[in-house]
Structure 1
Amino acid sequence: MRIVIAPDSFKTSASAHDVAHHIATGIREVLSNDTEIILHPMSDGGEGTSALFAGERITLPTTDALGRITEATYTYDARNEIAYIDVAAASGLKEVGDHLSPLTADTFGTGALIADAASRGAKRLILGLGGSATTDGGTGILTALGANFLDANGHSLPPGGAALKRLASVDISRLNLQAAAMDMLMLADVVTPATGPDGTSAVYAPRKGASAEDVNELEAGISQLCKVLNVNPEIPGMGAAGGVPICLTWISTTLHGGTDNIRLVPGARVIVDVTGLKDEIADADVVITGEGCYDSDTDMGKVVSVVLGLNPQAKQFVVAGRIDGPLPEGVRGITLINSNDVKKQLVRAGNKIAEQLIRD
């Protein structure tokens, strides 16, 4: 029997690497040693994306979404001059879960990582967009690169998305051109537009601590940002990471005179291609994937939906903390047991899968 385990991370609970290993441990406790188990941690552009790529792991001081000093890590492939950076590394929910601040949280810390990569010689940026604690439209990133977002009186706006409703212009006279002009590939974990009832503020800001009133302020800010920068807010994925693609699309288009140097793509499908999962999974007897919560977002290009589509003929399992909605036909769901020990939960999930395989 050939089993491929290809999960996403379980947000703040466990990395994709740990999820895969713990499930495999549970399977091996039940099945015979001649079972082939292949571990293939995945990501859709969220936390853990940069670690899936080859290169040197760079750790440096930066700031979290609240402006507090922290450390963050990204991957730099010096040979090919490519930096792989997760927005979640510096500007993620995990770092500020103790004190969410939806109106003022910003992506400045991610901009510091991008600037560092450029200083090392990076010519191309692969940016994972998932898992942010911010709804600032990417203004923090450009601020870190030297841009200045101004109100009608020429005063600098404070950090965060709420202040953007007063945005009148952007001064890029002191812009770090080396960093801002890099070729950029943005890996989106959602197809959310920037504004509207299905936009980044309405759908995701509440998960970042926003009240109904906060959502209205953030919606006004992101709408004004798109208006001033002349960016189409309806483009699928433009609302990923609290709208980070808005500013990056604008600055790349401004510097290069077009969109040839920047792309916004579904992250999970790119990672499947780059890491060779499609070939690895083609002749698997069993495919196991998973995420923290299987829900309506899953079918919007998330890891689980992409992995399940690669080999429908295999026996398929989804491991999740919660399963909120029907699984695709023939797919079996394994919900984690109630425990504060994540390893124990995932090992037990592996036990359950192995027991079902024996019964089959």
Structure 2
Amino acid sequence: MQSNTATESAKTHLNIVIAPDSLKSTASAPDAARWLREGALAACAAAGITPEIQVVPMADGGEGTAACFAGQVVTLPTTDAIGRLTEASYVFDPSTTTAYIDIAAASGLPQVQDSLQPLQADTFGTGVLIADAQTRGATRIVLALGGSASTDGGTGILTALGAQPLDERGLPLRPGGGDLHRVASVDTAQLNIPAAAVEWVLLADVHATATGPTGTAATYGPQKGANREQVALLEGGIAQWCEVSGIDPQVPMLGAAGGVAIGIFWLSSLLHGSGEHVHLLPGAQVVAETLGLPERANKADLIITAEGGFNEQSLDGKVVGTVLDLAGPNTTVAVAAGSFHSPLPTTNTLKIELPQDEQVREQLLWAGRNAVEQYLQVSR
């Protein structure tokens, strides 16, 4: 009897942490967090519970990562992954001389979804942002790698910084990954040395290697519009670029963003004599630590997280997998997603499949309510 009373008493207060990723192009992480919170508050009020809710919008090194950091938002003209004029933004913190840049801002897949060009798509537009950040005083570039539309090994960024990849005849390669199988050297006569010499922090959202069955072309080429023959061509290009640059293609996370880290490692090693000024890190973990999520997650009764679709990649460096790893032993994690293509871990997890016939705000309000209601049912 005393045990039941104690349990009911404990349920009058609930410690909830809301830590969603963005839901592709339908909801930013801050919007998703706000709507999940509203739904959770409604469920708590209906149950007579006083909640403590902490909102921690998350990112994993993909779209929306730069916005997780403090600083000034800088917007400027650049080009998208297929060379069309566009505008893109990044975050610059003058106090730490650090710029936070999403590859997805200029070179992302959504911007070119209307015209996928897997062999020609490049990262030149991101290089424009990097060069601009350096002119404003940035000495450290935090580059979020997720969501790119290209498989160019970072050669578009190199070109924007004045390093031109060449074939064996000394002729410039065409933009994109389709010509990379012909790369033989890089002309650095026009290199923007101050921009190239910065400290690099590369935030990966996947563990993919550069080449092989788990490599960037094989795993992500089809998402970027590549057919089987094009995947093989891109695979060969990345392999050749690793050979020329002296980079081990089997390093985990090297395949993020179509192998951008290959070009950055080569560039930094050229100037500093080693790759010690490049730090390739798991994006979700870095963002979580920056926002203080580990301590909050360990103390929570319930964590509500969300993403567009849950699949086998969700546990491989993504936000949901990171949240599940950080949850305390007595913490329940509710995972909200538009679809589930893989099973959730069976311990202390709740599955919240978003209703498809509602607008995204209503979906997430419902998910917040449902997460609390399910938690209260299973914790009785």
What TM-score, normalized by structure 2, do the two folds share? Answer: 0.92
Unaligned runs of at least 5 residues, structure 1: none
Given that 1:162 and 1:220 are in contact with CA atoms closer than 8 Å, whether structure 2 keeps it comes out as no
Indicate conservation of the 8 Å contact 1:92/1:131, yes or no.
Answer: yes
Q: CA RMSD in A?
A: 1.2
Q: Do the aligned partners of 1:104 and 1:159 also contact (CA within 8 Å) in 2?
A: yes
Q: Does 1:26 align with 2:39?
A: yes
Aligned to 1:91: 107
Aligned counterpart, 1:3: 16
Give how far 1:357 is off. Answer: 3.2
Q: State the secondary structure of the residue aligned to 1:125.
A: strand
Note the residue ranges of structure 2 that are not aligned, 5 or more in a row. 1-13
Partner of 1:325: 342
| 2: CA distance, partners of 1:89 / 1:25 | 29
CA distance in 2, matches of 1:233, 1:153: 25
Q: State how 1:182-197 maps to structure 2 within 5 Å.
A: 182-197=198-213
Distance of 1:224 and 1:171 partners within structure 2: 17
Displacement after TM superposition at 1:229 (Å): 1.1
Deviations 1:10-50 (A, max 9, x none): 12222111111111122223221732221101111111111
Tell me the distance in 2 between the aligned counterparts of 1:39 and 1:8: 12
**What letter is aligned with 1:63?**
T
Partner SS for 1:353:
helix
Shift in Å at residue 156 of structure 1? 1.0
- Please state if 1:334 is matched with 2:347: no
Structure 1 residue aligned with 2:4: none
User: Would the aligned equivalents of 1:84 and 1:127 in 2 still touch at CA under 8 Å?
Assistant: yes
**Which stretch has the larger CA shift, 303-312 or 349-358?**
349-358
Deviations for 1:308-352, whole angstroms, at most 9, x for unmatched residues? 121231121111111111111221111111136211221221222
Match of 1:309, SS state, is helix
- State the match for 1:172 in structure 2: 188
Work out the number of aligned pairs and report it.
Answer: 360
From the CA coordinates, give the structure whose radius of gyration is larger. 2
Residue 246 of structure 1 corresponds to which residue in structure 2?
262
Residue identity over aligned pairs, in percent, reads 51
The one-letter amino acid paired with 2:61 is: G
Aligned pair partner of 1:348 in 357, 361, 366? 366
Measured against aligned partners, the alpha-carbon deviations of 1:54-107 in whole angstroms (never above 9, x if no partner) come to 111111111111111111111101011111111111111121122111111000
Q: Is the 8 A contact 1:135 1:161 kept in 2?
A: yes
List aligned pairs for 1:162-311, cutoff 5 A.
162-310=178-326, 311=328
Give the partner amino acid of 1:329: T
**CA apart distance, 1:168:** 1.5
Question: Secondary structure of 1:270's partner?
Answer: helix
- Other-structure match for 2:68: 52
Distance of aligned partners of 1:144 and 1:340 in 2 relative to their CA distance in 1, 3 Å threshold: farther
For 1:339 and 1:173, locate their aligned partners in 2 and report how far apart those are by CA, in whole Å.
57
8 Å contact 2:254–2:261 — kept in the other structure? yes
- Which of 70, 79, 86 matches 1:70? 86
